[in-house]
């Protein structure tokens, strides 16, 4: 396994696109590399996911969690929205950069709730959580697994998860959609396996079958949940349809928020 970080995941994805289509080189790609980046990095893209990558299998859906500084005078999402409406442009929220799922989480919240917050991009989740705990920033959207140690220690307070329903591994944290004005809120990250688009169908099918067996293994599923993910096995056709639907969700948020990472 080779980790190729950088350029919002585009370096790794580009390397896979350019690799031999023999099933030996796989991309573990997130929503960013495969659905969001083409929307926000239009001129910087060296590949087009829809044309250059073949979806093999969805591994996990990964909800983010909205957490706040303990001293922020809100106890739940309803109070947060009321506070935001009463104090436009006062609330600050941190994410790991422009155009990533966390940023889109914040933009969607503002759009549905009718509030205005100030986006503060960071280079990593650890710094986001530290600064929210210290009160330098009011809020952050971050992976649930990454936030749990801070939540359990009381350094930050959880307000809601970004999935349509509560996460099975953190059932005490409500979903944003439970607050009636946000009933349509659902935006999470996800990870799946991809191969170069011209990989032979029989190779793709063999890989998909092997991954499907792993996704039905209880120990594997437990390990994914420990990392904050929800396993949801689906066929290749279902995965393609899932990506198409998710891309439409992301595209609306990007368009409504006029989000670009070109600068």
CB 33 within 8 A of CB 191: no
pLDDT of residue 259 exceeding 60: yes
pLDDT of residue 92 exceeding 60: yes
Residue labelled with tokens 């289509």: 21
Joined tokens for residue 245: 């639907």
Q: What was the pLDDT predicted at 7?
A: 56
Give 27-63+188-196+214-236's CATH code, choosing from 3.40.190.150, 3.40.630.40, 3.30.470.20, 3.40.50.2020. Answer: 3.40.190.150
Q: Which CATH superfamily is domain 64-162+170-182 in?
A: Periplasmic binding protein-like II (3.40.190.10)
Region(s) of the chain under CATH 3.40.190.10: 64-162+170-182
Q: What was the pLDDT predicted at 8?
A: 60
Work out the mean pLDDT of the chain and round it to a whole number.
92
How many CB atoms neighbour CB 187 within 10 A?
A: 24
Q: How far is CA 99 from CA 69, 163, 171, 200, 258, in A?
A: 23, 18, 28, 33, 10
Q: Output the pTM of the full model.
A: 0.90
Long-range contacts of 248-255 (CB under 8 A, 24+ apart): 249/186, 249/187, 250/31, 250/35, 250/36, 250/39, 250/104, 250/187, 251/39, 253/104, 253/107, 253/108, 253/111, 253/187, 254/36, 254/39, 254/40, 254/99, 254/104
Taking only the tens place, the pLDDT of each residue in 104-126 is 999 999 999 999 999 999 988 89
Q: What was the pLDDT predicted at 123?
A: 83
pLDDT of residue 9 exceeding 70: no
Q: What is the mean pLDDT of residues 172-181?
A: 97
Taking only the tens place, the pLDDT of each residue in 14-61 is 888 898 999 999 999 999 889 998 998 877 778 899 999 999 999 999
Roughly what angle, to the nearest 10 degrees, separates helices 101-113 and 77-86?
A: 70
DSSP per residue over the chain, as a string?
Answer: ------GGGHHHHHHHHTS-SSSS--EEEEHIIIIIHHHH-TTT-SS-HHHHEEEEEEEEEE-EEEEE-TTSS-SSHHHHHHHHHHSTTT-EEEESSTTSHHHHHHHHHHHHHT---EEEE-S-HHHHHHHHHHTSSSEEEEEHHHHHHHHHTTSSEEEEESSSS--TT-TTSPBGGGSGGGTT----EEEEEEEETTS-HHHHHHHHHHHHHHHT-HHHHHHHHHTT-B-----HHHHHHHHHHHHHHHHHHHHHHT-----
Taking only the tens place, the pLDDT of each residue in 179-230 is 999 999 999 999 999 999 999 999 999 999 999 999 999 999 999 998 889 9
Region(s) of the chain under CATH 3.40.190.150: 27-63+188-196+214-236
What percent of the chain lies above the pLDDT cut of 90?
78
């Amino acid at each position: 396994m080779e980790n190729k970080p950088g350029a919002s995941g585009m370096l790794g994805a580009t390397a896979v696109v350019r690799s031999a289509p023999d099933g030996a080189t796989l991309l573990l790609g997130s929503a960013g590399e495969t659905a969001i980046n083409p929307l926000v990095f239009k001129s910087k893209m060296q590949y087009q996911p829809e044309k250059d990558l073949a979806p093999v299998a969805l591994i996990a859906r990964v909800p983010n969690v909205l957490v706040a500084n303990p001293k922020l005078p809100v106890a739940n999402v309803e109070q947060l929205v009321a506070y935001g409406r009463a104090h436009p442009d006062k609330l600050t929220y941190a994410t790991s950069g422009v155009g990533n799922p966390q940023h889109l989480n914040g933009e969607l919240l503002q759009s549905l709730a009718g509030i205005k917050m100030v986006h503060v991009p960071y280079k990593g989740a650890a710094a986001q959580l530290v600064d929210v705990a210290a009160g330098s920033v009011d809020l952050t959207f971050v992976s649930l697994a990454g936030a749990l140690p801070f939540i359990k220690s009381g350094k930050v307070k959880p307000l809601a998860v970004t999935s349509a329903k509560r996460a099975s591994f953190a059932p005490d944290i409500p979903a944003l959609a439970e607050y009636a004005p946000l009933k349509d809120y659902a935006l999470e990250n996800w990870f799946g396996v991809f191969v170069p688009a011209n990989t032979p169908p029989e190779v793709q099918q063999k890989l998909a079958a092997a991954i499907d067996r792993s996704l039905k293994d209880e120990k594997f599923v437990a390990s994914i949940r420990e990392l904050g993910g929800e396993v949801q096995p689906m066929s290749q056709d279902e995965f393609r349809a899932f990506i198409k639907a998710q891309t439409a969700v992301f595209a609306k948020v990007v368009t409504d928020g006029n989000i670009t990472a070109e600068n």
